[in-house]
Amino acid sequence: MSEVKIPSRTYRPETRLVHSGTLRSQYGETSESLFLTQGFVYDSAEQCEARFKGEDPGFLYSRFSNPTVAMFEQRMIDLEGAEAARATATGMAAVTTAMLAPLKAGDHVVAAKALFGSCRYVVETLLPRYGIESTLVDGLDLDQWRKAMRPNTRTCFLESPTNPTLDVLDIGAIAEIAHAGGARLVVDNVFATPIWQSPLTLGADVVVYSATKHIDGQGRCLGGVILSSNDFIQEHIHTFLRQTGPAISPFNAWVLLKGLETLGVRVKAQTTSAAAIADTLAKHPKISRLIYPGRADHPQAATVKKQMRAGSTMIGFEVKGGKAAAFRTLNALKLACISNNLGDSKTIVTHPATTTHQRLAPEDRAELGISEGFIRYSTGLEHPDDLIEDLTAALDKA
Ligand SMILES: *Cc1c(COP(=O)(O)O)cnc(C)c1O
C-alpha cells in the first residue's frame, strides 16, 4: 500500500472530499480498494511481534483498524480539520463511545435538552446507571449552562442545529463555559454537516457524526465517526473501541468513502432547494410556524451567521390543525417519503411526536416545541419545483 500524496490541507474542501486519505495498492487502482478482510498476515513472527508491540505500522485486525476504514477516517480528518478520528459501526456507537469512554463513576455531564432521542437516552438514562450524573439544560440559555457546571463536570454535549426543531446553539460561547469549568465540549454535528459547520474551529473539543445521514446520503448503510485531537483519541477512544468492538464494516466504510466524494455537491444542492421550499412555506396559510436556519426570521439568525457557512438541508414546520392535519399532509405527499432517516438524496418527512420523540413525556415534547402538528422535512436531490408542487398540493389537503 502506498499513500497517494496530496498536501490535503492546502486544497479546498471539495478537492479533499475526492482525494484525501487515498491509499493505493500495487495495482494502482483508481477507485479506493475495498479490503473486506478481518485480519492480515505477517512476513515473519518477528514482524508480527513488532506489530503487536506497536513498533511496526501495519494493520493487525479489522476490529482495530483496516485500510478501507483508515481511508475513510483520513478523509474525515482532512475535511473536519481534526488531528485524529475513529470510525464506528453507527452514529450511536460514536456518541456512546465519545460520552462513556473518557468518564468514570462520580463524573458529571451537562447536555442540552434538545437531543436526538437515543443521544438523550444515553445522557439521561444510561450514564446515571453507571454513576455518571447528568444535568439537562435549555441549550439556548447560557446562564443555565453556567449554573449547571459542577467541580466534577467533565463533558458538555450538544447538537446544533437541534433535532427536530432546528434551534441553533452558540458553540463558541458554550465551549468557553465548558473550558472555564475544566470540561470538554462534544458536538453532534449531524444536522449542520461538515460542509456548513466546523465545531473544532469554533472551540469544540470533539465532533461526532452519524455518517448514516448526509455522509452516506443515499440511504444505504450505517456508520459513525469521532474526530478530535491526537491526545483525546489516543488517551480515551483508541483502547475503548479496540477492546469493546463497535467497529465499522470495511464495506460500510467504503460506501461512506465514496459518499464523501459527492457530499459537498449534494449538501449544497439540498440546501439551495431547502431555502426555496422554506420561503414558499413561510407564506403558506396552512402553516403556523416555520423554522429554517437560513432565513432572517430564524430565532437565532445572528448565531447562524456567526458559526454556519449556510442554512441547512432540514426544515421544520407546524401545520395548523395538530396531528390530524399533519397526518393528512404526510399521507397526501406523493414524492416525499414518510421515513425517519435524514440527509438522504430522497426527500424524507417525519412526524417527530409519534416517531423519533414518542418516548418523551408530552410535557417534555411541548417544552422542546415538538407539537402535534410539527413536521421535520429533510430535503433531497429532486428538482425543487417538484418538491414545492408536491408539498403545496399536500397542504391543500391538510
Ligand atoms: C441519526 C442520528 C444519530 C444516530 O446515528 P445512527 O447512525 O442512526 O446510529 C445521532 N445523532 C443525530 C443528531 C442523528 O440524527
Establish whether residue 224 lines the binding site of ligand 1, counting it when its CB lies within 6 angstroms of any ligand atom: yes
Establish whether residue 252 lines the binding site of ligand 1, counting it when its CB lies within 6 angstroms of any ligand atom: no
Whole-number pLDDT of residue 360: 86
Q: For residues 75 and 14, give the distance between their C-alpha atoms in angstroms, rounded to a whole number.
A: 11
299 with 169: CB under 8 angstroms?
no
Establish whether residue 193 lines the binding site of ligand 1, counting it when its CB lies within 6 angstroms of any ligand atom: no
Establish whether residue 246 lines the binding site of ligand 1, counting it when its CB lies within 6 angstroms of any ligand atom: no
Could you give the percent of the chain with pLDDT greater than 70? 98
Establish whether residue 119 lines the binding site of ligand 1, counting it when its CB lies within 6 angstroms of any ligand atom: yes
Establish whether residue 71 lines the binding site of ligand 1, counting it when its CB lies within 6 angstroms of any ligand atom: no
Binned at pLDDT 50, 70 and 90, residue 6 comes out as low
Establish whether residue 20 lines the binding site of ligand 1, counting it when its CB lies within 6 angstroms of any ligand atom: no
Whole-number pLDDT of residue 1: 66
Whole-number pLDDT of residue 5: 64
- Give the domains, in start order, of the chain with CATH numbers: 2-261 (3.40.640.10), 264-395 (3.90.1150.10)
At 301, is the secondary structure helix, strand, or coil? helix
Sheet of strand 84-88: strand arrangement: 84-88, 224-228, 206-210, 184-188, 153-159, 108-112, 133-137
pLDDT at residue 65 is higher than 60? yes
Establish whether residue 91 lines the binding site of ligand 1, counting it when its CB lies within 6 angstroms of any ligand atom: yes
Whole-number pLDDT of residue 387: 98
Establish whether residue 163 lines the binding site of ligand 1, counting it when its CB lies within 6 angstroms of any ligand atom: yes
Establish whether residue 187 lines the binding site of ligand 1, counting it when its CB lies within 6 angstroms of any ligand atom: no
The whole-model pTM stands at: 0.96
Establish whether residue 210 lines the binding site of ligand 1, counting it when its CB lies within 6 angstroms of any ligand atom: yes
Determine which residue's CA is closest to atom 5 belonging to ligand 1.
Answer: 91
Establish whether residue 89 lines the binding site of ligand 1, counting it when its CB lies within 6 angstroms of any ligand atom: no
Which pLDDT tens digit goes with each residue over 196-221? 999 999 999 999 999 999 999 999 99
Distance 119 CA to ligand 1 centre (A): 8
Determine which residue's CA is closest to atom 1 belonging to ligand 1.
Answer: 210
pLDDT at residue 224 is higher than 80? yes
pLDDT at residue 80 is higher than 70? yes
Question: Which numbered atom of ligand 1 lies nearest the CA of 95?
Answer: 10
Which pLDDT tens digit goes with each residue over 153-176? 999 999 999 999 999 999 999 999
Beta-strand pair 224-228/206-210: antiparallel
Distance 91 CA to ligand 1 centre (A): 5
Establish whether residue 212 lines the binding site of ligand 1, counting it when its CB lies within 6 angstroms of any ligand atom: yes
Whole-number pLDDT of residue 359: 85
At 2, is the secondary structure helix, strand, or coil? strand
Establish whether residue 221 lines the binding site of ligand 1, counting it when its CB lies within 6 angstroms of any ligand atom: no
Q: Which amino acid is at 64?
A: F
Distance 90 CA to ligand 1 centre (A): 8
Establish whether residue 153 lines the binding site of ligand 1, counting it when its CB lies within 6 angstroms of any ligand atom: no
Entry field: residues in the chain: 398
Distance 116 CA to ligand 1 centre (A): 7
Determine which residue's CA is closest to atom 2 belonging to ligand 1.
Answer: 210
Whole-number pLDDT of residue 180: 98
Determine which residue's CA is closest to atom 7 belonging to ligand 1.
Answer: 91
Cell numbers that stand for 341 in this block? 432517516
Backbone angles phi, psi at 209, to 5 degrees: -130, 145
Determine which residue's CA is closest to atom 8 belonging to ligand 1.
Answer: 91
Whole-number pLDDT of residue 8: 61
Distance 12 CA to ligand 1 centre (A): 27
Among 230, 247, 253, 229, CA closest to 67: 253
Question: Which numbered atom of ligand 1 lies nearest the CA of 191?
Answer: 13
pLDDT at residue 238 is higher than 60? yes
The DSSP 8-state label assigned to residue 61 in this structure reads B
Binned at pLDDT 50, 70 and 90, residue 28 comes out as very high
Could you give the percent of the chain with pLDDT greater than 90? 91
pLDDT at residue 7 is higher than 60? no
pLDDT at residue 390 is higher than 80? yes
Establish whether residue 313 lines the binding site of ligand 1, counting it when its CB lies within 6 angstroms of any ligand atom: no
- Which helix H or strand E contains 86, and what residues bound it? strand 84-88
The DSSP 8-state label assigned to residue 212 in this structure reads T
Distance 87 CA to ligand 1 centre (A): 14
Residues 6+ apart with CB under 8 A from 170: 142, 300, 303, 306, 307
Which pLDDT tens digit goes with each residue over 341-367? 999 999 999 999 999 898 888 998 998
Distance 210 CA to ligand 1 centre (A): 5
Please provide the average confidence, as pLDDT, over all residues in the chain. Answer: 95
- HSE at residue 351, side-chain half, CA atoms within 13 A, is 16
Q: Report the 10 Å Cβ neighbour count for 91.
A: 24
- HSE at residue 347, side-chain half, CA atoms within 13 A, is 26
pLDDT at residue 318 is higher than 70? yes
